[in-house]
Chains A and B, each alone.
Chain A
Amino acid sequence: MLVSKAKRPDGRKADELREIKIEAGVLNRADGSCYLEWGQNKVVVAVYGPREALPKHIQNPNKALVNYIYRMATFSVPERKNPKPGRREIEISKVCGEALESAIFVERFPNTTIDIFVEILDSNAGTRVAALTAAAVALADAGIPMRDLVSAVSVGRANGEIIVDLTKEEEDAEDAVDIPMAIMPNTQEFVLLQMDGIMSKEEWSKAIAMGQKACQQIYKLQREALRKRYLAAEKE
């Protein structure tokens, strides 16, 4: 594949991700949890459930509800953010919740809800994909049956180059296009795909292919984070 050698503002190659650190099981009182650092992004995710959905009228006797709540801390952006959930946060909560719902075996837990609380502590573009990546790890850590993990990354274009994992600086370029995408890495099924900006067909295919490759890298990190705590059992 043609990947330009030109360096980006922070010195990365076009297909290089920022440094990612994932740790599972960080919160004692949650059923499952995850802390993730993705470049400057810092995310904590707590998973509770499956537990009885209340009030009773929201229960669905055919499947579990996935209640994904994305919230940005007031100090997570340069200028203080109003703690009230805004249009953007409500939208992200909806699309990410639906992305995870397609990975979870929701039909096994009728009348229940799986609560996923995402708190963004620090942000620098790509928080929704960071949050989704962390949420998948937290769900697995909670022991919730899933078809597959969900790995997410953002791809796009800045200054005429197709790149993965855009920073805020790159997102603010004149010709910037941002495509957050999430896939189930073992089946390559898409569970989230958004885009803002305009791209040519060639650019699009190139960007998606780069994104799929990056997702496999992220999947490896998620896998290591989950396995790390129990590795002693394999050595015996």
Chain B
Amino acid sequence: MAKRIVIPGEVLTSERKRLGQHVFIRDGKIVADCLGIFIPEAPVASVIPLKGRYVPKENDVIVGIVVEEKFAGYVVDINSFYYSFVLKEGIRQNLKRGAIISAKVANVNEVNGVELTNVRILPKGGEIISVVPVKVPRIIGKNASMLKVLKEGSGSQMIVGKNGWIWVRGGNIPLLEKAIRKIEEEAHLSNLTNKIANMFKEKR
């Protein structure tokens, strides 16, 4: 399908279409609100952003880092606008600054503050690879196809947070990071999964 790179304020179409993400209406025309990719043939007019910060949404699985221990819980950096707070209730281990957790976003308030549930403490010895949050869907791929290639190619454990933080442990991490950087750089191009699969094959 043909793609079009659009910039903020650019008129996408004057047809009547369902509105997707990152569009708004001006003088009866559908207009893009950020730098991104627009697919003219798609039934829903939406722009896939190429850059941008993580804006928390309900039910996102994210990766966070413990910043501070308080009396009743932990302050967690989730790569969003503010830190989040997790109660000690239900967490059996005593966490230290720097511990990595994964959690689900339970609730987002009107100023983008986040409440977390399903907190899982990730085992020690892992590290975090940080990517641009809007490129996370490319790292997971359709039906997690890209994620499967990455896991099999490097032999690492991976947990991908919607907030752009990827927790990895074991396996060939330098190679994995190289692959992730490649995905990040070429996220706007197609046929990426095959390219990455070939990259792992060559290195082996």
Contact = CB atoms under 8 A, between A and B. Distances in A.
A144 B190 CA distance: 24
A111 interface: yes
Given A50-B81, A236-B190, A230 B50 contact: yes
Contact of B35 (A109, A140, A185, A236): A140
Contacts of A226: 5, 7, 35
B46 to A, nearest CB: 13
A147 interface: yes
Contacts of B189: 232-233, 236
Contacts of B49: 143
Given A61-B111, A140-B8, A233-B3, A146 B82 contact: no
Which range contains the number of B residues in contact with the other chain?
20 to 34
Given A52-B81, A145-B33, A230 B188 contact: yes
Nearest to A53: B81
Contacts of A146: 8-9, 33-34
Contacts of A227: 5, 7
A64 to B, nearest CB: 10
A233 to B, nearest CB: 4
Q: Across the A-B interface, give the 7 residue pairs with the lowest CB-CB distance, nearest first.
A: A148-B9, A143-B51, A143-B52, A146-B8, A233-B188, A145-B33, A110-B111
23 contacts: A32-B51, A50-B81, A51-B81, A109-B81, A141-B35, A143-B34, A143-B53, A143-B134, A144-B34, A145-B8, A145-B22, A146-B9, A146-B34, A147-B9, A149-B7, A149-B8, A186-B11, A187-B26, A233-B188, A234-B2, A234-B5, A236-B3, A236-B190
